[in-house]
Amino acid sequence: MPSKPTGKPGTRAPEHTLEEVKFLKHLIENQITVKVKLSNNEEVSGVVEYYDASFIRITRAGKPNLFIFKHDIKYLMEAGS
């Protein structure tokens, strides 16, 4: 007999799990270079220096720093991945 789901029908995953905060803190504390793919398919690389609810700040060697709104980010990953 198949097991029943534990949640109520129509239960959705939580919108905020705080995993984003943990990941960004990890990147900042360890100065890990990241690759950011934007919604327009442009890619930028650098180190996350700061973040808040709306944007992240990317510092790039020899290039201007960028403030990127989170809604413009398709994905962000460690550059060595």
The domains of the chain are located at 19-78
* Residue 3 scores a pLDDT above 70: no
Q: Which pLDDT score, from 0 to 100, does residue 81 have?
A: 64
Which pLDDT value is given to residue 11? 73
Token output for 25: 């803190």
6-59 pLDDT, tens digit per residue, is 656 677 767 677 888 999 999 999 999 999 999 999 999 999 999 999 999 999
Q: pLDDT tens for residues 44-76?
A: 999 999 999 999 999 999 999 999 999 999 999
Domain 19-78 in CATH 3.40.30.10? The answer is: no
Distances (CA, A) of 14 to 7, 18, 41, 54, 76: 12, 10, 28, 19, 21
**pLDDT score recorded for residue 10:** 72
